[in-house]
Structure 1
């Protein structure tokens, strides 16, 4: 499974901040990001996690998702165009285990995770 996402823009970050309630200035205020040594603002980690969740729910009914977890491995910079992927690692005891990845065009992996779903994925 793969989901190519649109470019992360300042508007994307502002809309996500409003929807999620996460108004951390590192993600929306250039001056704050620069004062912390960053070149610019960057995407919320939970935004990337939400995109991976969208990949799952676009392919599997939500009620079949038994677990979903991620770890953040790198930031998603402004204007990146991430791609979410899920790869089946095993099917066992009626459960399908997936490895999840959020990757940037340059190969940087920003999230790694796993999910377990009930049943098998449709071919």
Structure 2
């Protein structure tokens, strides 16, 4: 078992990510807009959540080269105005073959899975 790694996402993080990525969709910053389209509140960018998964994988594997990282965005990460939302990333080694390690991941917020079928493949850090 790998992890769990816990990351807190704040509204300030969403503003910084929007500036860095160019994704200024107001559902990631404006409560009224988010609710007007049927969301429970301001939500984190899906790609930001996936980037945190990549960060956890890099930490677990001591910076091994990530050759594949993916997931389906299944549930939003709702980020409150005060404090933050905690995203927890855990994983297990699914297979080791041909110099690659495949990790099966679980990504949750408030005990609910927020990414479907998340997985990562890294070059085997042991060189095996």
The interval holding the TM-score normalised by the smaller chain is 0.7 to 0.9
Is the counterpart of residue 5 in structure 1 residue 10 in structure 2? no
Q: Which residue of 1 aligns with 2:44?
A: 43
Moved over 3 A (4+): none
TM-score (norm 1): 0.84
1:100 corresponds in structure 2 to 105
Partner of 1:113: 118
Q: For the Cα contact (< 8 Å) 1:91–1:120, is it kept in 2?
A: no
Which structure 1 residue ranges, 5 or more long, are not aligned? Answer: none
Alpha-carbon RMSD across the aligned residues, in angstroms, is 2.1
Give unmatched runs, 5+ long, in structure 2. Answer: none
- How far apart, CA to CA, are the structure 2 residues paired with 1:38 and 1:69? 24
The answer on whether the counterparts of 1:95 and 1:116 sit within 8 Å (CA) in structure 2 is: yes
**Range with bigger deviation, 51-60 or 63-72:** 63-72
Task: Give the paired residue count.
Answer: 120
